[in-house]
Every structure is written in structure tokens, then in C-alpha cells.
Amino acid sequence: MPKKVYIETYGCQMNVVDSEVVVSILSGAGYVPTDNIGDAGLILINTCSIRDNAEQRIWGRLKAISHLKKRKHDVKIGIIGCMAERLKEKLIETDKLVDIVVGPDAYRELPLLVAEAEAGHKAVNVLLSREETYADISPVRMDKNGVSSFVSIMRGCNNMCAYCVVPYVRGAERSRNPESILKEVKDLYELGYREVTLLGQNVDSYKWDSNIETTGFPELLEKVAMINPLLRVRFSTSHPKDISDDLLHTISRYENICKHIHLPAQSGSSRILKLMNREYSREWYMDRVNTIRTIIPDCALSTDMITGFCTETKEDHKESLSLMDWAGFDFAYMFKYSERPGTKAARKYKDDVAENIKSERLSEMISLQNKLSAQAKKNDVGKVYEVLIEGFSKRSDEYLSGRTSRNKVVVFPGGGLKKGNYVKVLIERCTSATLIGKSI
């Protein structure tokens, strides 16, 4: 009987790919993945530390699965990823349920660590690395649709945003060898995938030096786009201080590079941006958006925003709202500031915006963004977009669902078409989340 591993993933898309890498490494040691937690001899939780509530959710989840261990004593539970890195041995000490703790750069050691745990010892490895990119490992794809997938192009982060735990839990930035990226993307295309998203904490600083040439992000993106015009390419995340005109020209030159940029602003106040150590001002951000609109006129834009960062005043908050309104973001992820131990903000500034004010500002921001998103969708009505079909719509098998290059979900009646196909769709109306149309 093969040993079974169940893996649950929290946090960002990087973690999704990491889980696929982990399954690949464990399959080399005789494990097969299972969707049924009750069946598994090994349960892994790939964790996120970005905000306190992300960690609280995982503590809650650990409690919820404790009965499995009481029922079957030989089940091993591992905490892997960012929270493993942040809390280290503390996890094992505070929670007797946990047998294995492995940080994001130590996944190659997992088979050994699991064996140690099976022999009755606690197993921990949270060493960070300056080189590890798992370049040679083919992730075992666990997405359900077989159409779009993520490809990691770099790991870690060298920016020191004052609020952010990522550099501490994922280590220094390192880029992955472009050959291994191109091979992985080609393999995905051969398998029938029609969309890849290149992932990194700050893709604009991707850089690989071989003896012959230097590959920056624009060159890498171009090479990926040239693999096949039927393969859509997306990427995330760009940093406003680093996104170059060169990159924007590359995006505009290739039809199959999606016209959507996720460009986290975080705040609209230059004073707060300075405290956040973002290394750009409100004016710089606006200039970048203007340049995007000039070079790629039909580009969709999305952002991340934090409300209630240390010392944020009502005026700072108004500036965040006015920046969002000015940019007319198609989409935004919005968060209340959550102090993370060890970060610059935690060490140097007071988390002095009251919880109820943070909540008030967040709901104001969300209602503004709802208006902007609705407006962005209304603007699409009456237009024709090319849609890559990802599968049936959630509500009905008579409708297909896919996305436009600008990353909007489109639902339409889909006689004779199937996932992975491209189809031109006339947008007839929209709901708050979806565009609805007919194929033409």
C-alpha cells in the first residue's frame, strides 16, 4: 500500500506552487496525494503569516483536525511554509499535535524529516537558503481545470516594506534559471494548459546572469510569450518602484501577454508610503499608471491597499481613496494593517490606529472599490472579448466560464465548445462579479 499524503494550502499563489513541489518531492519517496484527509498517513498544512488572522485560521484548523490523531495514533502532522519559518520550534512546543516543522527552503529534506517523525522524533528544518529555487523539480499539478497554472520564477524578497513579514519568512531574493522556467512552461503547454502565471514577490527584479547573457524580466516574459501564441501569459507581482517602460512595451507587443497589471499601491499618501518604506511617492505611482495607460491603452489595473497603518490620519486615508478613484482600479485586495512581530514597523512605530477606525476605513474603501469594479464591468458591456474557457460556470453546466485577457470572468451559453478553447464573446450584461454574454 502506498503511503498517502494530504496537503492543505493557505496564503498566496506561491504557496500553491510550493505545495505542488512538495508533492513532487514526496512522490519520490513513495507517497501519493489524497483528497481525503481521513485516508492520509501524513497531513501537511502549508501556511501563511502575512496577517495575524491568517495565522489564527491555521491554529483553528489544527484544533479542528486534532481528532484525527486521537483516532489514528500513527498519523503525522506537519506545518510547512511561512508560519513554520516564523514560529519554528515554538509550533512543536505549543502544540503537541505537530510532529514536523519545515520552512519554505527546506522541502527537499521532507522525506528525511518525515522518516524521523515516523521513528518517533520531532523533526524541524527551517534553514533559509540563498540559492534554492527548486528549479529542477517538476511540480505535481493539483489545479482542477488543467487550463491555467502557476510557474514560480523567483523566491524570497529583498524589499524591506516596513509592515511585511515576507523577507523574514521566505529569505533573500533569488531568481530561477530561465531554461528551467521555459522547459516547465513548454511541458505545461504540451499537457494542454493554455495559461501560465509567472510568480515572484517582485517580478520586475528578476535577473539571471549566464556567461553569455543577462536575462531580466522583460526578456524572460518575451521568451515565455514566444513559446506559443495560443498560450496566455500572466505575471504577479509588480512593484511600482521597479516596473519599467521596457516591460510595458513587451506587454504591448505580444497579443498573448495578458493586458492586466497587478500593481500594489498600499497607500495613496506619500507620507505613509515613506513610513512603509515603499520607495515611491503618490506622484510616482500616478506617473507609472499614466505611462501604463499610454503604452498599453486597454490595460486592466488592480492593487493591494492597507488601511490603518501606523500614524495614518483621516487625511492620509482620504488620499488612499482619492488615488483609488483616480486610478479606477478594476479590482483591489484591501486589508487592515496587522502588526507582524520583528518587522520594522513593529520595532519602530506604534500600531496606533484604533481597531474600530481601521474597520471603518476598510469598509469605506471596500464600498468605493465595489463602485469602481462595477463601473469597470459596465464599461465592458457591448464589447467583444476573446475568452479562454476554463470550464463550466459554477451555477449551470449549460454555461461556460472563462476570463478575458483583462482578467474578468465571463459566463456564456457554450454549445459545442470546451475548456482550453478560445472564443469571442459579446458582453451583453453584467452582475457584480461576472460579465455575461454570448459567443459570436
User: Which residue's Cβ lies closest to ligand 5AD?
Assistant: 304
Q: Which does 337 bind (CB under 5 to 8 A by kind): ligand 5AD, ligand SF4, none?
A: ligand 5AD
Give the CA radius of gyration of the chain: 22
CB atoms within 10 A of CB 145: 14
DSSP assignment of 114-140: HHHHHTT--EEE----SS---TT----
Residue 11 touches which of ligand SF4, ligand 5AD, none (CB < 5 to 8 A by kind)? ligand SF4
For ligand SF4, which is the closer residue by CB, 11 or 218? Answer: 11
Q: Which of 50, 113, 251, 323 binds ligand SF4 (CB under 6 A)?
A: 50
- Should residue 12 be labelled a site residue for ligand SF4 when binding is judged by CB under 6 A? yes
Q: What is the largest CA-CA distance in the chain?
A: 64
Specify the residue for cell string 492597507: 306
Burial class of 398 by CB neighbour count within 10 A (0 to 12, 13 to 18, 19+): exposed
Place of cell 514566444: 226
CB 80, min distance to ligand SF4, A: 11
Determine if 439 is a binding residue for ligand 5AD (CB under 6 A).
Answer: no
Q: Which is nearer to ligand SF4, 161 or 410 (CB)?
A: 161
List the single partner that 320 binds among ligand 5AD, ligand SF4, none, CB under 5 to 8 Å by kind: none
Cα–Cα distance between 356 and 308 in angstroms, integer?
10
Q: Does the footprint of ligand SF4 cover residue 166 (CB under 6 A)?
A: yes
The entry of ligand SF4, ligand 5AD, none near residue 335 (CB within 5 to 8 angstroms by kind) is: ligand 5AD
Query: Rounded to a whole number, what is the distance in angstroms from the first to the last CA of the chain?
Result: 51
Residues 280-339 that bind ligand 5AD (CB under 6 A): 304, 306, 335, 337-338
Site string for ligand SF4, 13-32 (x = CB under 6 A): -xx-----------------
Report yes or no: 200 and 206 within 8 Å, Cβ to Cβ.
Answer: yes
Q: Tell me, by CB under 6 A, how many residues bind ligand SF4.
A: 13
Q: Which is nearer to ligand 5AD, 252 or 338 (CB)?
A: 338
Q: Which three cell numbers stand for residue 363?
A: 469598509
Of the pair 134, 412, the CB lying nearest ligand SF4 is at: 134
Least distance to ligand 5AD from the beta carbon of 333, Å? Answer: 6
Residue with grid cell 524589499, as numbered in its chain? 159
The reply on whether position 107 binds ligand 5AD by CB under 6 A is: no
Residue 153 · residue 199 · CB < 8 Å: yes
Peptide bond into 237 cis (omega under 30): yes
Q: If you count them, how many residues does the chain have? A: 440
Tell me which long-range contacts 360-364 makes (C-beta under 8 A, separation of at least 24): 361/307, 361/308, 361/312, 361/317, 362/307, 362/308, 362/334, 362/335, 362/336, 364/317, 364/321
C-beta of 48 vs 97, nearer to ligand 5AD: 48
Q: Binding residues for ligand SF4, per CB under 6 A?
A: 11-12, 14-15, 48-50, 81-82, 165-166, 169-170
